[in-house]
Each structure stands twice: as structure tokens, then as C-alpha cells.
């Protein structure tokens, strides 16, 4: 496993993207940093992490024949890789909150930001950025509903051991993509999906509250929700959020 260790960098995703544009890197090359000065989250948010306490890293995955239309399967594979590793370490219940947040019970413990390098209709390379709260115990009040491995298990975790385990698990699940076993991947993802088949309150893009039940995720990664009148609607990330935890 080729691991590039940095003390500080703006963003490991940005660093890995620039590096792979300049030179050929081994598949599953990892860039890990003790601190990110401009850590990026989904939908233009920032990713905050206390220096030295957590895992903030990016992983390069090369593909030969991975169609853009299947890109959500990579989110599934990565989420399952992170979740499976965490599950092997402690007894807490972990869930995947669509599309790819990892929850410990109801609190976010890890976030995933995938950036793809595209050629035609194929994903040539993916930069998989993962922020996982490991040994940080206090979080600033502006960040709600977050936790860390230390907070849930009470134990200190060796970050390097954890990093290697996660990369191996992600490799395992990425293999399903390479073998085109998409159905199996989706089945495993749905088994771990937060609030699947449970009536829940949501907020739509016009800030309107509505009751619904997550019943599926479409092949293009949209959330499939059954509404009160038993019709189904598909939502993209910007169109829906949970009203409560
Ligand atoms: C999210 O939940 O919003 C996604 C967070 C992703 C954070 C990771 S930390 C390592 C990598 N580098 C970044 O700038 N972001 C990702």
C-alpha cells in the first residue's frame, strides 16, 4: 500500500488530484494529512477536524471500464468499506445516511467526498476523500450531531492501523464494481441504510415538511421515497433533507 503522509495541506483531495495529473500513481495510493487547512465537504461545505486527532485522507482508484451512469455504486462501495471497518472495532450500530455519511447510532462519524476524473462516458479515476473522527472528543458547538470513535468506545485508536484496514475494506467492495456485481453491492448498501422503510419527516427544497418512507436508492443514486398517498418520488441531494434525527 503506497501511503503519502503529510503534516499539513489545504486538502488531501486537491493534493492527490494534482499529483495524479502529473505522474502515474499506483492504484489505491493514499494521501493522508495530520491537518487540512481547507478541508472540503459535500455541496461546498468545509470539513473541520482537530489537528492530529482524526483521519483525513484521500484514496486513488483507477478504473478500466466504469460507466458514469454507474457512479453511485462507488459511493456504495466506499460507504460499506468504512462502515464494515468501524463495525469490526466496536459494538455500536453504524448506518449509512444517504448518500454516504456514516453514522454511529444517530451521529455523524465520517464523511465521504468522491471526485471523479472522467474520459468520455467513463470514470477513469476516482479521488475518494474520507474524513473520519477518531480520537477527537470535543467538537465546536456550531457542528451538531457528530461523534468520534473515542467518544463511542472510550478507547484511543491507532490511526495508521485504522487507515490500512479501511483501505483494504474499500478495495474489497470496489472489487464488486470491477466484477459488475452491482446488485449485490446495492443489497448490502440498503441493508445498512439509515431509516430504510421507516416513516420519517423530510424537508423538500422549498422548505416544506412532508412525511415519507425511504424505500430504495435508484441506480443513478437518487433517494426513492414513498409518500403518504403511496406514490413514489425520487430526490437528488439538493432536494431533500431529514426534518429531525
Ligand atoms: C462530507 O461529509 O461533507 C464529506 C467530507 C469529506 C472530508 C474529507 S477529509 C479528506 C478529504 N479531503 C478533503 O478536502 N475532503 C475530504
The closest residue, in CA terms, to atom 15 on ligand 1 is 40
* 11 within ligand 1 shell (Cβ under 6 A): yes
19-60 pLDDT per residue, tens: 999 999 999 999 999 999 999 999 999 999 999 999 999 999
137-180 pLDDT per residue, tens: 999 877 789 999 999 999 999 999 999 999 999 999 999 999 99
75-118 pLDDT per residue, tens: 999 999 999 999 999 999 999 999 999 999 999 999 999 999 99
Look at residue 245 and tell me whether its pLDDT is greater than 70: no
201 CB contacts (<8 Å, ≥6 apart)? 209, 210, 211, 242, 243, 244
The pTM of the whole model exceeds 0.85: yes
Beta-bridge mates of residue 131: 56, 111
170-210 pLDDT per residue, tens: 999 999 999 999 999 999 999 999 999 999 999 999 999 99
Q: 7: alpha, beta or left, given left = phi > 0 and alpha = psi -120 to 50?
A: alpha
* 163 within ligand 1 shell (Cβ under 6 A): no
* 47 within ligand 1 shell (Cβ under 6 A): yes
Amino acid at each position: 500500500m503506497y501511503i503519502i503522509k503529510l503534516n499539513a495541506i489545504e486538502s488531501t483531495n486537491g493534493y492527490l488530484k494534482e499529483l495524479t495529473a502529473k505522474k502515474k500513481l499506483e492504484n489505491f495510493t493514499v494521501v493522508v494529512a495530520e491537518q487540512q487547512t481547507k478541508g472540503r465537504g459535500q455541496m461546498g461545505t468545509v470539513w473541520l477536524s482537530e489537528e492530529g486527532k482524526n483521519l483525513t485522507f484521500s484514496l486513488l482508484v483507477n478504473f478500466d471500464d466504469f460507466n458514469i451512469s454507474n457512479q453511485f455504486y462507488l459511493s456504495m462501495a466506499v460507504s460499506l468499506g468504512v462502515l464494515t471497518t468501524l463495525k469490526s472495532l466496536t459494538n455500536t450500530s453504524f448506518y449509512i445516511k444517504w448518500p454516504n455519511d456514516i453514522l454511529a447510532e444517530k451521529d455523524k462519524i465520517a464523511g465521504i467526498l468522491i471526485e471523479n476524473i472522467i474520459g468520455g462516458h467513463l470514470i477513469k479515476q476516482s479521488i475518494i476523500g474520507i474524513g473520519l473522527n477518531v480520537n477527537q472528543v470535543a467538537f465546536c458547538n456550531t457542528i451538531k450531531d457528530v461523534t468520534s470513535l473515542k467518544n463511542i468506545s472510550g478507547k484511543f485508536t491507532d490511526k495508521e492501523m485504522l487507515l490500512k484496514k479501511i483501505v483494504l475494506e474499500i478495495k474489497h467492495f470496489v472489487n464488486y464494481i470491477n466484477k459488475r456485481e452491482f446488485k449485490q453491492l446495492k443489497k448490502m448498501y440498503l441493508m445498512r441504510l439509515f431509516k430504510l422503510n421507516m416513516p420519517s419527516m423530510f424537508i423538500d427544497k422549498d422548505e416544506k415538511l412532508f412525511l415519507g418512507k425511504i424505500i430504495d436508492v435508484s441506480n443513478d443514486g437518487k433517494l426513492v421515497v414513498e409518500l403518504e398517498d403511496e406514490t413514489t418520488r425520487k430526490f437528488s441531494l439538493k432536494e431533500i433533507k431529514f426534518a429531525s434525527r
